[in-house]
Amino acid sequence: MEGGDRMMRWIQIRSSILILTLACISSCCFLTLSFADSVTKEEAKQLRNEVGEMFYHAFNGYMDNAFPLDELKPLSCKGEDTLGGYALTLIDSLDTLALLGDRERFAASVEWIGKNLRFDMINKTVSVFETTIRVLGGLISAHQIASDYATGMRVPSYDNQLLNLAEDLARRLLPAFDTPTGIPFGSVNLLHGVDKHESKITSTAGGGTLTLEFGVLSRLTNDPIFEQVTKNAVLAIWARRSKLNLVGAHINVFTGEWTQKDAGIGTSIDSFYEYLLKAYLLFGDEEYLYIFKEAYAAAMHYLYHDPWYVEVNMDSAAIVWPLFNSLQAFWPGLQVLAGDINPAIRTHAAFLSVWRRYGFTPEGFNLASLSVQHGQKSYPLRPELIESTYWLYKATRDPRYLDAGRDMLASLQYGTRCPCGYCHISDVEDHRQEDHMESFFLAETVKYLWLLFDLAVGPDNLVENGPYKYVFSTEGHLLPATPQISLVREHCLYYGSYCRSGDLRQTYFISEVDKDKHESNDSRFYGSWTKAKYSSDYTTSEPSAVSGLIKD
pTM over cut 0.75: yes
Annotated active-site residue in 262, 270, 387, 434: 270
Q: What is the pLDDT of residue 17?
A: 53
Inform me whether the pLDDT recorded for 108 exceeds 80: yes
Amino acid residing at 387: E
pLDDT, residue 34, reads: 38
Apex CA 415: angle with CA 477 and CA 333, to 5°? 35
The reply to whether 397 falls in a domain is: no
In this predicted structure, the answer to whether residue 144 has a pLDDT above a threshold of 80 is yes
Could you tell me if residue 225 is inside a domain?
yes
* pLDDT at residue 431 tops 80: yes
b/e map of 97-130 (b: 16 or more CB within 10 Å)?
Answer: bbbbebeebbbebbeebbeebebeebebebbbbb
The per-residue pLDDT for 466 is 84
In a domain, 466, yes or no: yes
Residue 12 reports pLDDT greater than 70: no
The residue that leads in pLDDT, 9 or 379, is: 379
Question: What was the pLDDT predicted at 535?
Answer: 33
Q: Does any domain span residue 537? A: no
Number of structural domains (the chain) is: 1
2 catalytic? Reply is no
Backbone angles phi, psi at 321, to 5 degrees: -155, 95
DSSP 328: G
Q: pLDDT over 90 for what percent of the chain? A: 79
Q: What is the pLDDT of residue 157?
A: 95
Q: Kindly list the distances between the CA atom of residue 264 and the CA atoms of 169, 272, 290, 304, in Å, as whole numbers in the listed order.
A: 31, 11, 19, 9
> What is the distance between the alpha carbons of residues 466 and 448, in angstroms, rounded to a whole number?
17
Q: Does some domain include residue 390? A: no
Annotated catalytic residue within 70, 71, 95, 130: 130
Residue 64 appears among annotated catalytic residues: no
Choice among 40-54, 133-147, 450-464, 506-520 with the minimum mean pLDDT? 506-520
Would residue 384 show up in a list of annotated catalytic residues for this protein? yes
Nearest to 217 by CA among 280, 167, 182, 142: 167
Percentage helix, strand, coil for the chain under 3-state DSSP, each rounded to 5: 50, 10, 35
Confidence at 109, pLDDT banded by 50, 70, 90:
very high
CATH number at residue 18: 1.50.10.10
Give the range of the structural domain holding residue 237, as residue numbers without chain letter: 2-374+403-527
Quick check: is 233 in a domain? Answer: yes
- Lowest-pLDDT range of 10-19, 53-62, 90-99, 426-435: 10-19
Q: Is residue 468 part of a domain?
A: yes
pLDDT given for residue 321 in this prediction = 86
Mean local confidence (pLDDT), 235-258 = 99
pLDDT of residue 38: 87
pLDDT at residue 356 in the model: 97
Average pLDDT, the chain: 86
Does 5 score more than 60 pLDDT?
A: no
Average pLDDT of 3-23? 49
Q: pLDDT tens digits for 333-377?
A: 999 999 999 999 999 999 999 999 999 999 999 999 999 999 999
151 is in an annotated binding site: no
**Candidates 95, 340, 384, 434; catalytic one:** 384
390-275-297-239 Cα dihedral, nearest 10 degrees: -170
The answer to whether position 545 is within a domain reads no
Catalytic residue among 287, 363, 434, 438: 363
Pair 386, 448: CB distance under 8 Å: yes
pLDDT of residue 24: 52
Separation between Cα atoms, residue 382 and residue 384, nearest integer Å? 6
Is pLDDT of 530 > 80? Answer: no
Q: Residue 522's Cα: distance from chain center in Å? A: 25
In this prediction, residue 243 carries a pLDDT of 98
Q: Which of 408-412, 431-435, 455-459, 525-529 has the lowest mean pLDDT?
A: 525-529
Q: How crowded is the C-beta side of 269, counted as CA atoms within 13 Å? A: 28
Q: Average of pLDDT values for 189-195? A: 98
Out of 225-239, 294-308, 481-495, pick the least confident: 481-495
